[in-house]
């Protein structure tokens, strides 16, 4: 009796964890936009204005990538982009586009970009 109860608790616990973990992984993959790939080159579009959007982009690892940051009347500090892993730091024009080139070797793991003050951020997840 006790053993049967124990087994059912374990089975229910396993079923609950399986069911609850499945939508969360599927959910994040669907929610985050993916990078565009054209002729073997990858493009990640980020808009900088009062923060960054999208906040998370899923990209393919190991291929040359261009991060294209677009400003459009951006007078807040999201125009000053810092990408610590690339030792990249630049004040962008209030309106325009800035291409940040990443080599295939650099396109790995999670790349985080920040405003100069660190209050806004975006992530590119290479996978």
* Residues near Cu ion (CB under 5 A): 77, 115, 117, 119
| Closer residue to Cu ion in complex, CB, 65/78 | 78
Q: Can you tell me the distance from the alpha carbon of 47 to that of 53, in angstroms, rounded to the nearest whole number?
A: 5
Q: How far is the CB of 120 from Cu ion (least distance, A)?
A: 5
**Beta strands 88-91 and 80-83, pairing class:** antiparallel
Q: How far is the CB of 115 from Cu ion (least distance, A)?
A: 3
| Closer residue to Cu ion in complex, CB, 48/107 | 48
Residue 45 buriedness (CB in 10 A; 0-12 / 13-18 / 19+): middle
| Closer residue to Cu ion in complex, CB, 12/117 | 117
Q: How far is the CB of 84 from Cu ion (least distance, A)?
A: 14
Q: Can you tell me the distance from the alpha carbon of 94 to that of 48, in angstroms, rounded to the nearest whole number?
A: 9
| Closer residue to Cu ion in complex, CB, 104/117 | 117
Q: Token pair for residue 71?
A: 């400003």
């Amino acid at each position: 009796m006790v053993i049967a109860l124990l087994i059912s608790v374990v089975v229910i616990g396993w079923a609950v964890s399986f069911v609850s973990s499945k939508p969360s992984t599927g959910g994040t993959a669907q929610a985050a936009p993916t990078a565009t790939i054209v002729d073997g080159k990858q493009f990640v579009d980020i808009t900088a204005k009062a923060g960054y959007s999208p906040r998370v982009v899923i990209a393919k690892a190991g291929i040359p990538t261009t991060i294209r940051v677009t400003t459009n009347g951006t007078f807040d500090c999201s125009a000053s982009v810092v990408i610590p892993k690339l030792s990249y730091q630049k004040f962008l024009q209030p309106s325009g586009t800035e291409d940040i080139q990443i080599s295939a070797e650099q396109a790995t793991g999670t790349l985080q970009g920040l405003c100069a003050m660190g209050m806004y951020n975006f992530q590119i997840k290479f996978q």
